Amino acid sequence: MATPKSDIEIAQAATLRPIVELAGDRLGIDARHLEPYGHDKAKLSFDYIDGLGDKPRGKLVLVTAITPTPAGEGKTTTTVGLGDALNRIGKNALICLREPSLGPSFGVKGGAAGGGYAQIVPMEDINLHFTGDFHAIGVANNLLAAMVDNHIYWGNGLGLDERRIAWRRVVDMNDRALRSIVNSLGGVANGFPREDGFDITVASEVMAIFCLATDLEDLKRRLGNIVVGYTRERAPVRAGDLNAQGSMATLLKDAIKPNLVQTLENNPAFVHGGPFANIAHGCNSVLATTTALGMADYVVTEAGFGADLGAEKFFDIKCRKAGLAPEAVVIVATIRALKMHGGVARDDLGEENVAAVEAGFANLGRHVENVAKFGVPAVVSVNRFTADTNAEMARLIELCDAAGVRCVEANHWAEGGAGAEDVARAVVEIVESGAANFRPLYPDDMPLEEKIRTVSREIYRADDIQVTPAVSRRLAELDETEAGAFPVCMAKTQYSFSTDPALKAAPTGFDIPIREVKLSAGAEFLVAIAGAIMTMPGLPRTPAADRIDVDGDGVVSGLF
Task: Point out the residues that are catalytic.
Answer: 75, 77, 98, 109, 277, 305, 385, 413
- Could you give the count of Cα atoms lying within 13 Å of 312 in the half-sphere of its Cβ? 33
The rounded distance, in Å, linking the Cα atoms of 76 and 338 is 18
Could you write out the three-class secondary structure of 154-172?
CCCCCCEEEEEECCCEEEC
Residue 549 exposed, middle or buried by CB count within 10 Å (0-12, 13-18, 19+): exposed
Could you write out the three-class secondary structure of 488-526?
EEEECCCCCCCCCCCCCCCCCCCEEEEEEEEEECCCCEE
Helix, strand, or coil (residue 527): strand
> What are all long-range contacts of 187-192, with beta carbons under 8 Å and residues at least 24 apart?
191/149, 191/152, 191/153, 192/152, 192/153, 192/162
Quick one: which of 271, 338, 346 has its CA closest to 119? 271
The rounded distance, in Å, linking the Cα atoms of 347 and 396 is 21
- Residue 113: alpha-carbon gap to chain centroid: 13
The rounded distance, in Å, linking the Cα atoms of 490 and 485 is 16
Asked if 196 contacts 554 with a C-beta cutoff of 8 angstroms, the reply is: no
Helix boundaries (H) for 154-297: 205-212, 216-224, 245-252, 286-293
For the beta carbon of residue 445, count every other beta carbon within 10 angstroms: 8
The rounded distance, in Å, linking the Cα atoms of 405 and 91 is 23
Quick one: which of 474, 494, 469 has its CA closest to 484? 474
Number of helical (H) and strand (E) elements in the chain, helices listed first: 20, 25
Asked if 521 contacts 212 with a C-beta cutoff of 8 angstroms, the reply is: no
For the beta carbon of residue 384, count every other beta carbon within 10 angstroms: 17
Helix, strand, or coil (residue 463): coil
